[in-house]
Amino acid sequence: MKKIFLFLLLAISANGFSQIMNPVKWTTAVKKISATEYELIASATISGNWHLYSQNVPKGGPSPTTFTFESNANYLKKGNTNEGAGHTVNDPVFKMKITFFEGKAVFKQRIKLKKPNSKFKVNAVVEYMTCNDSQCLPPKEVDLVFDIK
Amino acid sequence: MKKIIFKALMVILFASALSSCSEKKTVGNEFVVKGKFSKITSPVIVYLTYQDDKNESHKEEFVSKNGEFEFKGNAFASSASIFFTPYVEGYTIDQPEYWTVAAKEMKSKPYFEKSRGFFLEGGTFEFTGDDNLETAKLQTDSENQEIFTEYVQGLEKVKKEYVPLVGQKAVSDSIGIKDQKSDKINAEYELKRKQFVDYAYEFSAKYPESKVSLIALQADGFSYDFDKLSVALDQLSKDLQTVKIASLLRERITKENSNNIGKEAVDFSLEDPNGKEISLQSYRGKYVLVDFWASGCAPCRAENPNVVKAYNKFKSKNFDIISISTDIKKEPWLKAVAEDKLPWVNLIDKKERSKATWVAYGVLGIPSNFLIDPSGKIVAKNLRGIELHTKLAEILK
């Protein structure tokens, strides 16, 4: 699995050196589970040796990735935002177990539609921080849009 | 700011070409990329990644059932890459389910391991081969392919020598002992870093008329040598100088120069933990280290004990520190200030990005600091590890 991601990453990074300045790119997708249930998928492509942190970082640790979904009349959130496995390490600086992502990270949020098969948009904001071994980019907020149709 | 610079590149129709209008093509950025691979017979997704003529990144997909594909778009000067992944009915590669199916397929067919980088600009590009992207024949009217290959190979070479030393230096800095071994690592690091940074400028001096030089100069935003970048831009052929990327790089140089050693430090007024505004101006008459950091930044937190050490050593010599946190939220910031026991003035930079102090200082990554003299001039930048102590000892005699 890791090998595949790595290969994808290499293929992509060959393209954009300018991505070094903006090491995390977000894309969104929507998957239909049933007429009343959808899955919102936010994927981060992380270049080079940069890290993106898990949503579940102990307090006092590095800035976790956080999602805020703007509520509207068309849907209700179902459960929390899931994330992939990532890498867990004992961080020597924060002295705690920290999970981070390299290469790629996928976050999923299930939602329940109030009206079956309705069409609408869900706006969300992801707040995150990217680091490598020697520096971090200041915390950043990115707007995401999920198109339910 | 940096986002704009690195994202928003494009070709404006050259003003000169518009006025004189004829000989120069003003709209010549359309490309067609085609492929025909005789031994790829099962469906694959073909990807083309590139930056368009506005320097937006693209990752285009083409589902190919017979080994043939075609992409169309606009590009002025971009390094591009093509690769294949298996086609899985009903799933896209953003979905984990895709990978469970695709992984098997990728193991059994070596052509999924290959990718092909090339230089993309206006024109036609036709790849033909059996199933191997790397060895496929490229027919094109683009004249920059060989120059691009030379650039990529040269870059790989200097990068391979430089990258391992970044890690070695980080380890040696964190130990914080200055001895023969650390001197040797530092010297070698400086040498390889210089070779890595200078490569782009040497390359563009060799090919001032090639669009590939634009890619080289834009390269790694963290390691510009701004004086050399400025010279390199001046040396580009006239046509390339009017291109947006060149003017955006110039803007970046202007920003850097305004925060350079010898320049007056940008004044700021930011809130301390009690909400009281404190300005840089109020520190006139003192040496002050303005230190940018954030609570969640491990490299910053690792550096903090070193900064505290320097503060204790030099605080009696007309020296003070202001830490500026780029934290968005107040609570983790206050907690980290308490944990790291930072005894000096702590400020938070939570203004919107375009008005943020770290942006005004041209900070690209944290930690990052500026040493400012009693008259308000910048006298040193980005002092880390042992360098902070050496520089302070030299200045605060």
CATH of the domain at A110: 2.60.40.1250
Give me the number of domains chain A comprises: 1
- Taking only Cα atoms into account, the Rg of chain A, rounded to an integer number of angstroms, comes to 16
pLDDT of the residue at A5: 40
Structural tokens at position B133: 């992207």
Beta strands in A62-135 (DSSP E): 66-69, 75-83, 87-91, 96-101, 104-113, 120-131
H, E, C per residue of B142-153: CCCHHHHHHHHH
Q: Do A106 and B301 touch (CB under 8 A)?
A: no
Is the CB of A73 inside 8 Å of chain B's CB atoms? no
Give the Cα separation of B200 and B4 in Å (integer).
Answer: 21
Give the Cα separation of B311 and B366 in Å (integer).
Answer: 19
Give the Cα separation of B318 and B397 in Å (integer).
Answer: 11
pLDDT, tens digit, 9 for 90 and up, residues A78-124: 999 999 888 898 887 788 899 999 888 999 999 999 999 899 999 99
What is the CATH code for B7-142? Answer: 2.60.40
Produce one character per residue of A73-89: b if its CB has 16 or more CB atoms within 10 Å, e if not.
eebeeeeebebeebeee
Domain range enclosing A15: 2-148
- Largest alpha-carbon pair distance within chain B? 76
Is the CB of A30 inside 8 Å of chain B's CB atoms? no
Q: Which amino acid is at A29?
A: A
Strands B30-37 and B123-129: parallel
Please report, for chain B, the start and end positions of each structural domain, with discontinuous segments joined by +.
7-142, 149-258, 269-395
pLDDT of the residue at B372: 98
Q: Which residues of chain A lie closer than 8 angstroms to B85, CB-CB?
A: 8
Structural tokens at position A74: 């068309």
Res. A128 pLDDT band, cuts 50 70 90: very high
Cβ burial, residue B92 (10 Å; 0-12/13-18/19+): middle
Q: Do B49 and A11 touch (CB under 8 A)?
A: yes
Give the Cα separation of A8 and A28 in Å (integer).
Answer: 18
The DSSP code sequence of B40-75 is --S-EEEEEEEE-TT--EEEEEEEESSSEEEEEEE-
pLDDT of the residue at B9: 30
Name the minimum distance, in Å, from the CA of A79 to any CA of chain B. 19
Q: Which amino acid is at B60?
A: E
Cis peptide leading into residue B208 (ω within 30°): no
Q: How many Å separate Cα B295 from the centre of its chain?
A: 23
A vs B: CB pairs below 8 A: 147
pLDDT of the residue at B174: 65
Strands B319-325 and B287-293: parallel
- C-alpha angle B128-B85-B77 in degrees, rounded to nearest 5: 60
Q: For chain B (length 397 residues), average pLDDT per consecutive 10?
A: 33 30 54 96 90 81 94 92 90 75 86 91 96 94 93 90 79 74 88 89 95 84 75 92 83 83 94 96 97 93 94 96 93 94 95 84 90 96 90 93
Spatial CA neighbour of B204 closest among B227, B233, B226: B233
Give the Cα separation of A68 and A124 in Å (integer).
Answer: 5
The answer, yes or no, to whether residue A6 has pLDDT greater than 60, is no
Is the CB of A68 inside 8 Å of chain B's CB atoms? no
How many Cβ atoms from other residues are within 10 Å of residue B126's Cβ? 15
Q: Do A138 and B326 touch (CB under 8 A)?
A: yes
Give the Cα separation of B371 and B88 in Å (integer).
Answer: 56
Q: Do A15 and B335 touch (CB under 8 A)?
A: no
Res. A7 pLDDT band, cuts 50 70 90: very low
Spatial CA neighbour of A104 closest among A38, A35, A32, A12: A12
The answer, yes or no, to whether residue A2 has pLDDT greater than 60, is no
Give the Cα separation of B208 and B215 in Å (integer).
Answer: 12
Q: Do A141 and B335 touch (CB under 8 A)?
A: no
Name the minimum distance, in Å, from the CA of B19 to any CA of chain A. 32
Name which of B44, B56, B81, B363 to mutate to probe chain A: the one with the most chain A Cβ atoms within 10 A of its Cβ.
Answer: B81
Structural tokens at position B370: 């500026």
CATH topology of domain B269-395: Glutaredoxin (3.40.30)
Q: Do A22 and B299 touch (CB under 8 A)?
A: no
Is the CB of A93 inside 8 Å of chain B's CB atoms? yes
Q: How many Å separate Cα A87 from the centre of its chain?
A: 14
Question: B51 to chain A: nearest residue by CA?
Answer: A16
Q: Do B295 and A63 touch (CB under 8 A)?
A: yes
Structural tokens at position B263: 């320049």
